[in-house]
Amino acid sequence: MKVIEHIKKAKGKTLFSFEILPPQKGESVQSIFNAIDPLMEFKPPFIDVTYHREEYIYKKRENGLLEKVSTRKRPGTVGICAAIINKYGVDAVPHIICGGFSKEETENALIDLDFLGIDNVLVLRGDAIKSEGRFEADPNGHSYASDLLQQVLDLNDGAYLHEEVKRNKTNFCIGIAGYPEKHFEAPSLKSDLKYLKMKVEMGAEYIVTQMFFDNKKYFDFVEKCRENDINVPIIPGLKPITTLKQMNVLPSIFHVDLPDDLVDALEGCKDNATAREVGVEWAIQQSKELKEAGVPCLHYYTMSKSLVTKKIAEALF
């Protein structure tokens, strides 16, 4: 079932969903099941599975020179989605990204997902390679999420890359990302909203937000979206803080602000255990306010570590 159909079927009730990471290359799919099992009692209608681009490592040749080698540390998104559907009977939402993938590789992944009966994809540009700092697209791939979105829409219309006639149409429900504090590369929030609206007008059917720690920023973002005739469901994405280090790492990596009250509470923590308690309680209060406001779904970034998310869900669902 499509994400938007799950939302409509809920008739105003706030749904629970979460995102997991594929395991590191060579690890068993059981690690995925171990992350999902504790959260199934809260009846998630869908589970997101991230996609990860290549990273580079350097291998020393016999002549002493270094060879730059591309590797993917977390492969297997398509297979994991199939495993989730088979084991749990819930919908899987694979992330499809621009970075590190050619148009042909993207089409092949989408064809495989369609064969498996997967109804949803979340279309993202993706991040830059850690060692490079700036996003660079595959020479034969897409530079922007809007271009990737168009490729999925083309398949939904039966238009494949190298076919002169239209073939079997896919039927993906397409989600996109939204940034309550704007994408860090956008010159302004107004500009960011312009491109968000463009993607909705192209055919994106729902939005999942970047993590945020101040609900006012989410509510303001939704209000600005509605003012700009962006009327699709906007699902808030939440990430509980679990370590003291994240107080500095999350703002640096994800370009989000932490409220002063949260920072003050974290600075008073003596270790990660107390920081985790603060993070969980903050996320619970965030979630309660969002749920009372009637958000369509509460979507949690678990990093495949489910026990913290379970504590939050126990207070909400």
Report the largest interatomic distance among the alpha carbons of the chain, rounded to a whole angstrom. 66
State the number of CA atoms in the 13 A half-sphere of 248 facing the CB: 3
Note if 19 is an active site residue: yes
| Cβ-proximal residues to 252 (8 Å cutoff; 6+ apart), any chain | none
φ/ψ of 46, rounded to 5, equals -150, 155
The residue from 5, 19, 62, 105 that is catalytic is 19
Catalytically active residues are 19
